[in-house]
Chain A
Amino acid sequence: MPNTSLCDEVYFNKFYADHIQSASNFAYYKCSNKNTSLDLAQEAFIKIWENCIKIEVSKAKSYLFTVINNLFLNKVKHEKVVFEYAKSSPYLDTNNESPEYLLEEEEFKEKLKRAIESLTAGEREVFLMNRIDGKKYREIAEMLELSQKAIEKRMSSALKKLKTKIDGI
């Protein structure tokens, strides 16, 4: 029988490796600070390690995100979030290289970025977990200990806001 206790170092390390990136991303969606996000995620993992006896393996993932959320609320001063795009990101239409098109797309990206930054934290984290981490609604619901319906609601209100923001500007 495999040892599936969070107190087991091998198991814990695997759990860590599986989730550290999405934990760090989650923290980043909240604070948009590259240094703070990893710290928050690390601290959450330390909490899990310290309380490994008390935490059920099946609950560990949602515990992780809950802790990050709490740490964020307690420690990080609410600042305006500012995101950046990855440097070598392809355009939607990779074949179209006309200067007009590229300019148009850059403009769109700028509008979208600002629109995302203006979303509420709840909408933003759900939207970006879906877009960037490729998580399905059911997975996000599990992580945040919310219903799938609630996630879908946040998702569609995020989409609506983004659309009106982009069209309006």
Chain B
Amino acid sequence: MEEKNDILKWLNRETSDEELTHLKETKDFKTLEKIAHYSAQIETPEVNVKKALTDLNLKTQNTAKKGKVMQFNFNQLYKYAAAIVVILTSSYFLLFNNDESFKTEFAQTKSFNLPDNSEVVLNANSEISYSKKGWKESRSLTLDGEAFFNVQKGKKFTVNTDIGAVTVLGTQFNVKERDNYFEVKTYEGLVSVAYKDTLIKLPRGAIFKVINGVVDFNNTFDVNEKSWLQKESNFKSTSLRFVLKEIENQFDYIVETKDIDLDVLYSGGFTHTDVNIALQSVTIPLQLSYKIDGKIITIFNYDR
């Protein structure tokens, strides 16, 4: 064992002269010496390094290099150009968008100030949008739904809706625009309402209503009763269908009806705080009944 390691050491050129003389005395050493000597004489093909490297470079130029160099691709360029255009335009609209809009969901109200400090309270399921940039030139906004305005004195202030436009100089008023229902209430000052070709001046305490295209502006209301702003809705001789629509807006329920005359007129109000009390205050005077099942309210005639 000892001897074997010595031989390995010797072949690895790690043996001292002293160890070598000792090793030379062992019996197999003559053979080992010959093995070591002659095995090293086995011929290996000598590589002409310069020539081999030239060959190699030729080969790599034909294969690898081609893969390494990225071809300049115009299609690629168009792709990036298109991406940049998309990014720039979308960021323009996102970052420099001059249109401000406020939106409320079902059973939600929101109050905010316009750039001129006019107050707006947005009722449930409504949306207001206006141009920030154009606000200085003309105080004009678009309303979809219902909102109360307390307008600062100044230039003309216009509320546009799909049904009609309301113009004021400085007052408090409420605009309600739902499907086929348009209503303006003046709380202070004088409001001019443009509906189709007619222009009506609406004094304090007056209501202007358009229901299914029928104009009605002879009704009055109590200016101290800012109904929905105090978390209730008030109606005066209004079709039941619009009252129920308002319940949907305020409570985020779906209202279904069974064998009911939706055109029956309702006068009264309902609170926004409790759906049961609200439904009772609508159904009892009309001799109706209701049922709540999950998110669905069913209203029916209890006589039958």
Contacts and interface: CB of A to CB of B under 8 A. Distances in A.
Contacts of A42: 52, 55-56, 59
A83 B59 contact: no
Contacts of A128: 39, 42
B46 A21 contact: yes
Given A152-B8, A155-B8, A86 B43 contact: yes
Contacts of A131: 11, 36, 39-40, 42
Contact of B53 (A13, A137, A156): A13
A79 interface: no
B contact face: mostly helix, strand, loop, or mixed: helix
Contacts of A113: 42
Interface residues of B, number: 34
A contact face: mostly helix, strand, loop, or mixed: helix
B169 interface: no
A166 B37 CA distance: 14
Interface residues of A, number: 46
B32 interface: yes
A21 to B, nearest CB: 5
A28 interface: yes
A37 B47 CA distance: 10
A152 B8 CA distance: 7
B45 A16 contact: no
B32 A159 contact: yes
A104 to B, nearest CB: 10
Contacts of B55: 42
Interface of B: 4, 7-8, 11-13, 28, 31-47, 49, 52-53, 55-56, 59-60, 63-64, 67
